[in-house]
Amino acid sequence: MQQLKLKTLDGKSVEANLEIVNMSSVIQNLLLDCKMENGAAVITLQNIHSWTLDTILIWATHHKDDDPEDYEDEKFVNDPWDVEFLQEHDDMIFYLINAAEDLNMQNLYIACVISFFDMAAMELEHGDEDDCDDVDEYDDYEEDYDY
């Protein structure tokens, strides 16, 4: 399988399987005009951090054999793997939503938005207002990486 290098906002290069990244129509289009480095295709993703891209690649690898035409909102709500995966990454859901939108990965975008609204509904249902006060929790990822 062909490999591709994706350069991220934080300057890191992430190697990805071409079959996996083809889930993104944006990457498909960028491949047409990409530059070559040591014989390998290189695409720069200007708005996506490496840790967000790593998470997206895990999701895309799990869904690589899915038929994109078969997706409906109910699929994401009822798929135990997606529910658990997005709950494990709930602290970076906004980064995933933005990256999925930037990469035009509609299925991931829908799954993240549904997960976000489910989390918000649970917060409202439980009335846990203290969790909403910590606005800086989304910056924790950025603090862990050097730019």
Q: Cβ neighbours of residue 141 under 8 Å, at least 6 residues apart?
A: 49, 51, 52, 91, 92, 95
Segment among 6-10, 27-31, 94-98 with least mean pLDDT: 27-31
pLDDT digits (tens, 9 = 90+) for 52-99: 999 999 999 998 888 766 655 556 556 788 889 998 998 899 999 999
Domains defined for the chain, CATH in brackets: 3-143 (3.30.710.10)
Single-letter residue type at 40: A
Whole-model pTM: value is 0.76
User: What is the per-residue DSSP string for 1-44?
Assistant: --EEEEE-TTS-EEEEEHHHHTT-HHHHHHHHT-EEETTEEEEE
